[in-house]
A and B are shown apart, each in its own frame.
Chain A
Amino acid sequence: MRVEYINPFVESAMSVLKSTVSENVKRGTPKLSTSINNIQGVAIIVGLAGQVSGRVVLDMSEETALNVASSMNGERLDSLDELVSATLTELGNMITGNAITKLHELGFKFDLTPPALFVGDNLRLTDNKIEALVVPLELEEGNLCINVAIKENIYK
């Protein structure tokens, strides 16, 4: 997996979170993950297509999700309602949208699928043969992980 594909997503996540959620975002140690990831409670998933296939997942606990959505809206939100869902999917939109803009400037052609939001206690994400890089991000609102899995499509 090529680092130049991954970095724009992590950098974009950092800068979007800084400008929309809170100034203090710390980046933890990246890990390569196995093919199955446990999701913490709320996951925003965006698919990638074009020169590559893969996906970007932002996952966090329900509590963190509510804190993040509250900060983005400037008001306390206490349940995973329509506004919270719209806020979190828009967060996924902005992070991936900004990242693929950067990737296009570098000459990589990626397209995005609209973000999907999943909520559940025991969500598992299974990817066959795609290795994922997981980067923990620490905020005052709680910790979240950005999980990027990309596979180059080989054209003959």
Chain B
Amino acid sequence: MKSASDFPTINAKIPDGLKEDGSKYRVLLVDDSIFVKKQLQQMLLSQDYEVVDTAADGEEAVAKYKQHYPNIDLVTMDITMPKMDGLTALEQIIEFDRSAKVVMISALGKEELVKKALLLGARNFIIKPLDRVKVLERLASVVKR
């Protein structure tokens, strides 16, 4: 009789962070809180994403996006940050690369803010506190589109 282990690939879910060719989706992680950075990093690494770089404010985010371009598949963007907020950074990244995939991640979920972000070109809007399953689902839906 055959056991489940004879079919290792049938039931094994391919991690969200892997492209069809087996390479990793590359993420730029933007948040001014080292707590959130750590939290997101753990979630992303658990699904085999590659965190290419991190940024702690909007200015740094724009600079790092340009520096790594075109080798970034996804940006997670906090909103409330020093120097430059996440919406301004979003605007500048989209101006530089119209097909940039940016997902906002914020503790603020006011309707007008969400609308504004989506209008500026954000692909999704996740409200903190972060639920691991929900975050991974949303990011996968953006990155695989």
Q: Which chain A residues have a beta carbon within 8 Å of chain B's beta carbons?
A: 16, 19-20, 72-73, 82-83, 86-87, 89-90, 93-94, 96-98, 100-101, 104-105, 112, 114
Contact = CB atoms under 8 A, between A and B. Distances in A.
B107 A98 contact: yes
B130 to A, nearest CB: 9
B62 to A, nearest CB: 20
Contacts of A112: 108
Contacts of A72: 35
Most chain A CB neighbours (cut-off 10 Å) among B109, B110, B128, B129: B129
Given A100-B110, A105-B111, 4 more contacts: A82-B34, A90-B107, A104-B110, A104-B112
A19 B80 contact: no
A73 to B, nearest CB: 7
Contacts of B110: 100-101, 104
B108 A101 contact: yes
B131 A114 contact: no
B11 to A, nearest CB: 28
Interface residues of B, number: 17
Given A100-B108, A100-B110, A94 B35 contact: no
B106 A19 contact: no
Contacts of B129: 16, 19-20, 94
13 contacts: A19-B131, A20-B129, A73-B35, A86-B35, A87-B35, A93-B80, A93-B128, A97-B106, A97-B108, A98-B107, A101-B127, A104-B110, A114-B80
B38 interface: yes
A98 B113 CA distance: 13
B109 A98 contact: yes
A99 to B, nearest CB: 10
B141 interface: no
B22 to A, nearest CB: 30
A80 to B, nearest CB: 13
A93 B107 CA distance: 6
Interface string B75-102: 0000010000000000000000000000
Contacts of B33: 86-87, 89-90, 93
Contacts of A90: 33, 35-36, 107, 128
Nearest to B79: A97
Contacts of A105: 111
B64 to A, nearest CB: 20
A112 B107 CA distance: 11
B47 to A, nearest CB: 17
